[in-house]
Structure 1
Amino acid sequence: MIHGLARDTGQSGVGWEKDKKKPQVLHLTSPDAPGGHLSWTPEIKPCDFDYLRIIGKGSFGKVLLARHKETTKYYAVKVLQKKIILKKKEQKHIMAERSVLMKNIKHPFLVGLHYSFQTTDKLYFVLDYVNGGELFYHLQRERIFLEPRARFYAAEIASALGYLHSLHIVYRDLKPENILLDSQGHIVLTDFGLCKEGLEPNGTTTTFCGTPEYLAPEVLQKQAYDRTVDWWCLGSVLYEMLYGLPPFYSRNTAEMYSNILHKAPVLKPNVSNAGRDLLEGLLQKDRTKRLGGKDDFLELKYHSFFSPINWEDLMAKKITPPFVPSVSGPTDLRHFDPEFTHLPVSSSLCTDTLTVTSSVKEAAGAFPGFSYGPPAEHSFM
């Protein structure tokens, strides 16, 4: 999934336009912050970028490959339409995504945020550009991955989830569409719109969210759940990598939900004993008995399935990835869906010339504290 787009590209997303006029960028600081107020500043603007291609699309807008004019660096710019977010009452999810992105900057397997800013009617995330393709794309092409390759991806994903849990964040939407490969073949986890922040190790939450194929039984039953939902999802993704389909998949959604609640996963012998044992532990329907239920990531880290992994080397990206996507450079879009890349980039991306109505004012002020820029030494300039 490209920074917030589901399998049907309808879950969340982004939206844009371009022109010669220089809009002013609305920077909003929290009213609770010192000097918190609405202020207009020319620091960073939509027109600071050249927008080259659409690389993803969702219900709130688009993701674009963009090149910063001054530095010529490439970024994925995710642009959200405020009025659609407000209409769907999704402000909290958007602000949670921004908050989580702020915390993820230093982890090797989580997408990094460089800037967030807003105009009167749009929100902008300037993110790491990752062009090795979704894990979903590669899995579709190859059907299954051999165990060493699946182990490598599962280890990088598990370390990213463990890091989020250490920050009291539960990811809640792990699936192959949200897992990207970079140009070297490493995992990059993206799309933090469904994250739950502030969940202590023994804490629970009850919001019904996720993607049908990967829902944990406790979520499906609308029971309280905890961070172990992420380990269930990892089990589902690992199973899909090794066997070609999610563990309880059926085209009939009601049947699939029944399978999740009542059926044991079918573990065929083409997977090692350690692999099957790990899957059984992760796909344990009782979350209190699930692998990761007591010591979280450490339980996975020391499982025999991961014994070939040197975790220090993994975190330092010293392990050679088992597969390197063929990309000739940043403008090579062969691993993106042509359904998006063939769309024309709007010629109005730099405009922000709305008539100021009461609804525009509401949208303008609905996302206080959204804007972010790195310390001066890390900025574009």
Structure 2
Amino acid sequence: MSRPPALQAQTCGPWEMKERLGTGGFGNVIRWHNKETGEQVAIKQCRQELSPRNRDRWALEIQIMKRLNHPNVVAARDVPEGMQKLAPNDLPLLAMEYCQGGDLRKYLNQLENCCGLREEAILILLSDIASALRYLHENRIIHRDLKPENIVLQQGEQRLIHKIIDLGYAKELDQGSLCTSFVGTLQYLAPELLEQQKYTVTVDYWSFGTLAFECITGFRPFLPNWQPVQWHTKVRQKSELDIVVSEDLSGEVKFSSSLPCPNNLNSVLAGKLEKWLQLMLMWHPRQRGTDPVYGPNGCFKALDDILNLKLLHVLNMVTGTVHTYPVTEEETLQTVKARIQSDTGIPEQDQELLQEAGLALFTQKIVTGCSRDSEQPCTVAVPLEYIFLPLFPGESKRTGVGSC
């Protein structure tokens, strides 16, 4: 693949052209820096050879971007004064906020993420992208090209924020809420788009599910190296619950409804996200995203339930095993000790629950009040982590310090 030509340095008043951030189907995205104020913007400019259809699509992207306002959708900015004159053609420029963290693909390609992102990073990403898609769908917009390259990262006050970009393939729903045009990146496209069939917002569910699976495991769920025709023929054979189609070393294709290991999720989250992925990756679009409790398009509410879980992680200092328990707002440590006994066989009276600093926890204390972050509101559940030391008959009490 040939590289795009090198940028020629340009200025526009106090604005200086700095670097090419990306090259897409329409043209280039360039970072500009204001040397007087320090402000930075990303300017998207179109190629000269755009077809009439793509010119219309470009105009639609600008129209959509200017009316959207959501923290997880990249924001439009005013084009700096005089910069439109530097455009290579008569098409308008699109100015957007600059997100210095790069795209999600760059993050996934880091060596430490080869088997998936850290648990906390996964939960934050799922929360951000679900919020963005909800907003787009409520505004009758289908993205149609959701993939790691179209998610950028911005450092917020407390954490990284994920933002959806590139609405060049987005489509506003018509009165029938069905579309037939074929766009997007093949590896993340829903089957009905590959088949050029009518489709709805559920195409974004498939892309979101594929993206989520990749962030959890480090690879895409369905035969990622196969060509589209062969891919479609084989993957359509999966059952509704299958979320993995893989090829082993002998060339045999395997189907599975379980999340593969290794990944960085605790057992509770792994089980719940496994079931959620089964909703998102259903082959048939009419069933996709339908939750048994919340009904059609209930996948976002189902994800809310997962993200709002309060989880207690208990480390057995003798075996090194971590046990994870969902807890309620009013649950006490006494009931947790009963659950620990059920899982480990250690009697309640022989358990000692300790905090990070080695302080003993009283059994009548409310579990959620023991967290270091219990006074801080959160949009993604804060793990509540303790350490317990089993006490066997005849042994003296031991103390220890563990990390939350």
Structure 1 segment 9-158 matched on structure 2, within 5 A: 46-47=12-13, 49-81=15-47, 83-86=48-51, 89-104=53-68, 106-116=69-79, 118-119=84-85, 121=89, 123-141=92-110, 142-143=113-114, 144-158=116-130
Q: Give distance in 2, aligned partners of 1:135 and 1:206.
A: 29
- The letter for the 1-side match of 2:202 is T
Q: Give distance in 2, aligned partners of 1:73 and 1:102.
A: 19
Distance 1:259 1:265, change over 3 A: farther
Deviation of residue 265 (structure 1)?
A: 2.2
- Asked if 2 retains the 8 angstrom alpha-carbon contact of 1:14 and 1:80, the reply is no
- Asked if 2 retains the 8 angstrom alpha-carbon contact of 1:53 and 1:65, the reply is yes
Deviation of residue 320 (structure 1)?
A: 8.4
Q: Deviations over 1:191-238 (max 9, x none)?
A: 0000001345x6110111111111111112221100111111110100
Distance 1:320 1:216, change over 3 A: closer
Correspondence for 1:301 = 301
- The letter for the 1-side match of 2:243 is P
- The letter for the 1-side match of 2:31 is L
Correspondence for 1:237 = 211
Aligned residues with identical type, % of pairs: 26
Which structure is higher in strand share? 2
Q: Give distance in 1, aligned partners of 2:299 and 2:5.
A: 37
Deviation of residue 19 (structure 1)?
A: 5.3
- Asked if 2 retains the 8 angstrom alpha-carbon contact of 1:9 and 1:58, the reply is no
Deviation of residue 9 (structure 1)?
A: 9.9
Q: Secondary structure at the match of 1:78?
A: strand
Structure 1: gaps (5+ residues): 1-7, 21-45, 310-316, 323-381
Distance 1:321 1:131, change over 3 A: farther
Q: Deviations over 1:57-90 (max 9, x none)?
A: 3454322221235533111122223x2224x741
Correspondence for 2:230 = 255
Q: Deviations over 1:239-296 (max 9, x none)?
A: 1111211111332213323344223322235462111100000001111111159877
Q: Deviations over 1:130-187 (max 9, x none)?
A: 0112111111111211343212201110110110111111000000110111123110
Q: Which has the higher contact order (CA 8 A, sep 6+)?
A: 1
- Asked if 2 retains the 8 angstrom alpha-carbon contact of 1:109 and 1:160, the reply is yes
Q: Give distance in 2, aligned partners of 1:225 and 1:9.
A: 34
Q: Give distance in 1, aligned partners of 2:120 and 2:134.
A: 21
- Asked if 1 retains the 8 angstrom alpha-carbon contact of 2:308 and 2:380, the reply is no
Correspondence for 1:34 = none
Deviation of residue 307 (structure 1)?
A: 2.9
Structure 1 segment 207-222 matched on structure 2, within 5 A: 207-222=181-196
Distance 1:72 1:321, change over 3 A: farther
Correspondence for 1:189 = 164
Distance 1:149 1:273, change over 3 A: same
Residues 130-139 or 299-308, more deviating: 299-308
Distance 1:68 1:56, change over 3 A: same
- Asked if 2 retains the 8 angstrom alpha-carbon contact of 1:159 and 1:297, the reply is no
Distance 1:256 1:321, change over 3 A: farther
Deviation of residue 318 (structure 1)?
A: 6.0
- The letter for the 2-side match of 1:280 is Q
Q: Give distance in 2, aligned partners of 1:160 and 1:69.
A: 32
Q: Give distance in 1, aligned partners of 2:10 and 2:219.
A: 45
Q: Give distance in 2, aligned partners of 1:216 and 1:189.
A: 18
The runs of at least 4 consecutive aligned structure 1 residues that moved more than 4 Å come to: 13-20, 292-298, 317-322
TM-score after normalising by structure 1? 0.64
* Alignment match of 1:161 (pick from 105, 108, 133): 133
* Alignment match of 1:205 (pick from 161, 176, 179): 179
- Asked if 2 retains the 8 angstrom alpha-carbon contact of 1:14 and 1:60, the reply is no
When the two chains are superposed, the root-mean-square deviation of aligned CA atoms in Å is 3.2
Residues 144-153 or 126-135, more deviating: 144-153
Q: Give distance in 1, aligned partners of 2:26 and 2:53.
A: 12
Q: Secondary structure at the match of 1:186?
A: strand
Q: Give distance in 2, aligned partners of 1:96 and 1:52.
A: 27
Larger radius of gyration: 2
TM-score after normalising by structure 2? 0.61
Distance 1:279 1:113, change over 3 A: same
Q: Give distance in 1, aligned partners of 2:167 and 2:296.
A: 20
Q: Give distance in 1, aligned partners of 2:381 and 2:147.
A: 20
Correspondence for 1:265 = 243
Q: Give distance in 2, aligned partners of 1:165 and 1:95.
A: 20
Q: Secondary structure at the match of 2:33?
A: strand
Q: Give distance in 1, aligned partners of 2:301 and 2:39.
A: 36
